[in-house]
Amino acid sequence: MTEAVFHVFRGDAKGGSLQPYKVQVEEGMVVLDAIHRIQAQDAPDLAVRWNCKAAKCGSCSAEVNGKPSLMCKTRLDALPLDQPVVVKPIRSFPVIRDLVTDVQWNYEVNKKIPPFTPKKDAPWRWMQEDIDRVQEFRKCIECFLCQNVCHVIREHGVKSGFAGPRFFVRVASVEMHPMDDLNRTALLKDEMGIGYCNITKCCTEVCPEDIHITDNAIIPLKERVVDDHYDPVRKIFRLLSGKKSS
Amino acid sequence: MSARFETHDFDVLVIGAGGAGLRAAIEASAAGARTGVVCKSLLGKAHTVMAEGGVAAALGHVDPKDSWKVHFRDTMLGGKMLNHWRMAQLHAQEAPERVRELERWGAVFDRTADGRILQRNFGGHSAPRLAHVGDRTGLEMIRTLQDHGVHQGFEVFMECTVSRLFTEGGRVVGAFAYRRENGRFIVFRAKSIVLACGGVGKSFKITSNSWEYTGDGHALAYEAGAELVDMEFVQFHPTGMVWPPGVMGILVTEAVRGEGGLLRNSKGERFMEKYDPKRMELSTRDMVARAIYTEVKEGRGSPHGGAFLDISHKPADWVKKKLPSMYHQFMDLADVDITKGPMEVGPTTHYMMGGVRVDPDTGESTVPGLYAAGESSGGMHGANRLGGNSLSDLLVFGCRAGQGAADGAKTRSGQATIDAGQIERAERAMLAPFERADGPSPYDVHARLQETMQSLVGIFRVDEDLQKALREIARLREETARVRVTGSREFNPGWHLAIDLEAMLLCSEAIARSALVRRESRGAHSRLDYPKTEPEFGTKNTFVKKDGQAMAVGQSPLPEMPAELRAIVDAELEAVKV
Find residues 19-58 of chain A whose CB sits inside 8 Å of chain B: 26-30, 33, 39-40, 44-58
Q: Enumerate the β-bridge partners of residue A97.
A: A12, A100
Residues B274 and B226 placed together within one structural domain of the fold: no
Sign of dihedral through CA atoms A130, B46, B285, B266?
A: positive
Coil, helix or strand at residue B295: helix
Q: Enumerate the β-bridge partners of residue B237.
A: B348
CATH code of the domain covering residue B459: 1.20.58.100
Which pLDDT score, from 0 to 100, does residue B182 have? 96
Residues B230 and B153 placed together within one structural domain of the fold: yes
d(CA A34, CA A56): 19
Residues B223 and B322 placed together within one structural domain of the fold: no
Structural domain including B206 reads 5-234+351-411
Which pLDDT score, from 0 to 100, does residue B1 have? 41
User: Comparing C-alpha atoms, which of B34, B11, B72, B47 is closest to residue B389?
Assistant: B72
> Where in chain A are the domains?
2-100, 104-241
Residues B194 and B175 placed together within one structural domain of the fold: yes
Which pLDDT score, from 0 to 100, does residue B54 have? 97
Q: How far apart are the first and last CA of chain A?
A: 58
Q: Indicate which of B41, B100, B116, B147 best probes the interface with A, i.e. most A CBs within 10 Å of its own CB.
A: B147
Find residues 165-184 of chain A whose CB sits inside 8 Å of chain B: 170, 174, 177
Whether B22 and B82 have beta carbons less than 8 Å apart is answered as no
Q: Indicate which of A38, A138, A173, A179 best probes the interface with B, i.e. most B CBs within 10 Å of its own CB.
A: A138
User: Comparing C-alpha atoms, which of B9, B28, B4, B6 is closest to residue B399?
Assistant: B28
Residues B109 and B201 placed together within one structural domain of the fold: yes
Assess whether B47 carries a catalytic annotation: no
Residues B26 and B54 placed together within one structural domain of the fold: yes
User: Comparing C-alpha atoms, which of B222, B228, B194 is closest to residue B399?
Assistant: B194
| A112 touching B (Cβ < 8 Å) | no
In a domain, B575, yes or no: no
Residues B302 and B334 placed together within one structural domain of the fold: yes
Q: Which residues contact A234 (CB under 8 A, 6 or more apart)?
A: A227, A228, A245
Whether B154 and B35 have beta carbons less than 8 Å apart is answered as yes
Which pLDDT score, from 0 to 100, does residue A243 have? 54
Which pLDDT score, from 0 to 100, does residue A244 have? 59
**pLDDT band for position A237 (50/70/90)?**
confident
Q: Enumerate the β-bridge partners of residue B487.
A: none
d(CA B510, CA B507): 5
d(CA B106, CA B207): 32
Q: Enumerate the β-bridge partners of residue B460.
A: B526
Which pLDDT score, from 0 to 100, does residue A241 have? 66
- Whether residue A28 and residue B334 make contact (CB cut-off 8 A), yes or no, is yes
Residues B361 and B499 placed together within one structural domain of the fold: no
How many domains does chain B divide into?
A: 3
**pLDDT band for position B316 (50/70/90)?**
very high
**pLDDT band for position A246 (50/70/90)?**
very low
What's domain A2-100's architecture? Roll (3.10)
pLDDT digit string, tens, across residues B290-306: 999 999 999 999 999 99
Residue B458 phi, psi dihedral angles, 5° rounding: -90, -140
In a domain, B554, yes or no: no
The one-character DSSP state at B207 is B
| A100 touching B (Cβ < 8 Å) | yes
Q: Enumerate the β-bridge partners of residue B544.
A: B228, B553
d(CA B401, CA B395): 10
Q: Which residues contact B342 (CB under 8 A, 6 or more apart)?
A: B264, B308, B309, B310, B312
Segment B213-224 mean pLDDT? 98
pLDDT above 90 as % of chain B: 98
Assess whether B257 carries a catalytic annotation: yes
pLDDT digit string, tens, across residues A12-62: 999 999 999 999 999 999 999 999 999 999 999 999 999 999 999 999 999
pLDDT digit string, tens, across residues B36-83: 999 999 999 999 999 999 999 999 999 999 999 999 999 999 999 999
Min CA distance, A6 vs chain B (Å)? 17
Min CA distance, B209 vs chain A (Å)? 7
d(CA B85, CA B88): 5
State in words which class domain A104-241 has: mainly alpha
CATH code of the domain covering residue B275: 3.90.700.10
pLDDT digit string, tens, across residues A182-205: 999 999 999 999 999 999 999 999
In a domain, B165, yes or no: yes
Residues B290 and B369 placed together within one structural domain of the fold: no
d(CA B378, CA B83): 9
pLDDT digit string, tens, across residues B411-431: 998 898 999 999 999 999 999
**pLDDT band for position B224 (50/70/90)?**
very high
pLDDT digit string, tens, across residues B497-530: 999 999 999 999 999 999 999 999 999 999 999 9
pLDDT digit string, tens, across residues A128-152: 999 999 999 999 999 999 999 999 9
Summary mean pLDDT of chain B: 97
Which pLDDT score, from 0 to 100, does residue A232 have? 81
In a domain, B528, yes or no: yes
Q: How far apart are the first and last CA of chain B?
A: 65
Segment B443-471 mean pLDDT? 98
Which pLDDT score, from 0 to 100, does residue A242 have? 58
Q: Enumerate the β-bridge partners of residue B8.
A: B188
Residues B385 and B256 placed together within one structural domain of the fold: no
Residues B230 and B246 placed together within one structural domain of the fold: no
In a domain, B502, yes or no: yes
Q: Enumerate the β-bridge partners of residue A180.
A: A118
Whether A174 and A203 have beta carbons less than 8 Å apart is answered as no
Residues B95 and B171 placed together within one structural domain of the fold: yes
Which pLDDT score, from 0 to 100, does residue B245 have? 87
Q: Which residues contact B474 (CB under 8 A, 6 or more apart)?
A: none
- Whether residue B111 and residue A128 make contact (CB cut-off 8 A), yes or no, is yes
Predicted complex: ipTM over 0.90: yes
- Contacting residues of A for B140, CB less than 8 Å apart: 138
Which element (helix H / strand E) includes B12?
Answer: strand B5-15
